[in-house]
Amino acid sequence: MAKMAEVSRRVMEVVIRSPGCDLEEVMNECPDLTWNQVFLEVDRLGRDGIVTLKFEGRGHYSVRPSERALRPS
């Protein structure tokens, strides 16, 4: 099972590469991660203000990196 830092890195790679992607796209880009791993990491990143989630309707959410995530460290 992937460690949390690895899950975070991989999820953020997808979100930065494809801003506005939906959770299904993140799942497709990380086939070795479970749905729970991806969902929990997107939830954590959203609570930390690193990504933003937008309800698109009928259970679909898009994921975008926040300005904070795009700023150089």
What domains can be seen in the chain, in order of their start residue? 4-70 (1.10.10.10)
Q: Name the helix (H) or strand (E) containing 18.
A: none
Q: Sheet containing 21-22: which strands, arranged edge to edge?
A: 21-22, 60-65, 51-57
Burial status of residue 40 (CB atoms within 10 A of its CB: 0-12, 13-18, 19 or more): middle
What are the pLDDT digits (tens) for 24-49?
999 999 999 999 999 999 999 999 99
Average pLDDT of the chain? 90
Whole-prediction pTM value?
0.85
SS3 content of the chain, % helix, strand, coil (to 5): 50, 20, 25
Identity at 10, one-letter amino acid code: R
